[in-house]
Structure 1
Amino acid sequence: MGEPDMEQRDPNQLNDHIQVKFEEVFGEPDAVRSVDCVWKNSYKCFTKTFSICYKLLTLICALPIAFCWGCEFACTACYHVWYFTPYLRWFEMTMNPIRKMYVICLTAFVAPCMETMGLCFSKIVVKN
């Protein structure tokens, strides 16, 4: 793993759904308008508060949360490598004889009936 891209921090657009802009939260219809300075300062207040709070929260929480998620994904990888995948392989090996018996029974008993029904129904002609 290399260094993180400091410009493009969401290259897979994982969080497009949480992009919040002032215009997506507040909107005044034409019939109701506040004073221009209130609208402009509300915009500044919202964007600055959002930015500062986000930076403060990430400063406090990002490292511990990243540590926890690192542990979570490490546990998931370990589980898959050392338990889940070998279990699936064991299950596949164990069920293979049963699968073969099932195929033999279907081929011996069900397939002839289905072929016969197919032949019978293939003779039906539907006219308009």
Structure 2
Amino acid sequence: MMSDEYLVECKIDDDDDDDDYGVQKIQPSPPPPPQFSSSPSITPQPSLIHVDIRDPCGVNKHLKVEFSDVLAEPASTHSYDRVWIYSGIAFEAMRLWCYRCLTALCAVPVSCLCGCLFALLACMHIWCVMPCIQVCHTCLPCVRSLWMSVVNIFIAPFCTSAARCCSGIHVLFSKE
């Protein structure tokens, strides 16, 4: 069964759009998507104001760990009910408070390191990698014609003569 989040509401208008003279009304077309529009659009940046939505792109969906994902007792062996309940409470509390303590100690330095790393990667990509690729694309036709000349002058005659020498060799298989 499909959940409601995948359902789309479509408005269907069965009325005729013809006016009294038999001419249809032309409706304005919707604006193009932002990536196809000619006017520059600024993509909204995540803001620090909304602290409730901390993973809007769903990067860490795999980290939603609960007590039942880690610990489970089969039907044949059960501990006391209170032990099971207190174990679940202790698991959740330790997971929450250890995460809070570790993020209090590590979040700012790690985010600074990640920011520096991504800035370095962006700088290297913009100022080193892309210019090298553009130089290669620019020089590639010259290099291609030079390489074709080398192949036609040196390698092709050698391969042709080796093929002619080997063309007279015949191999026969016989059972003795």
Q: Distance in 1 between matches of 2:127 and 2:138?
A: 17
The percent identity for this pair of structures is 32
Quote the residue 2:39 is aligned against. none
What CA distance in whole angstroms lies between the structure 2 residues aligned with 1:26 and 1:81? 48
1:81 maps onto 2:131 in alignment: no
The residue type paired with residue 72 of structure 2 is G
Q: Give the distance between the partners of 1:25 and 1:89, measured in 2 at CA.
A: 51
Using the alignment, how far apart are the partners of 2:137 and 2:145 within structure 1? 12
Structure 1 counterpart of 2:60: 15
Structure 1: runs of 5 or more not aligned? 104-128
Alpha-carbon distance in 2 for matches of 1:96, 1:59: 56
Structure 1 segments of 4+ aligned residues over 4 angstroms from their partners: 99-103
2:56 is aligned with 1:26: no
Q: Given the two structures, how large is their TM-score scaled by the length of structure 1?
A: 0.74
Match of 2:153 in 1: none
How far apart in 1 are the matches of 2:145 and 2:100?
A: 60
Compared CA separation, residues 21 and 11, structure 1 to 2 (3 A):
same
Most deviating of 33-42 and 15-24: 15-24
Q: Which residue of 1 aligns with 2:115?
A: 70
- C-alpha deviations, 1:81-120, integer Å up to 9, x for none? 11111110001111123446789xxxxxxxxxxxxxxxxx
- What's the TM-score, normalizing by structure 2? 0.55
Local SS of the residue matching 2:56? coil
**1:3 Cα offset (Å):** 2.1
Higher helix content, 1 or 2: 1
Residue 114 of structure 1 corresponds to none
Which structure is higher in RCO with an 8 Å CA cutoff and minimum separation 6? 1
What residue is the counterpart of 1:43 in the other structure?
88
Please tell me the residue identity of whatever aligns with 1:97.
C
Counterpart-to-counterpart distance in 1, 2:128 and 2:112? 23
Greater CA drift, 76-85 or 56-65: 76-85
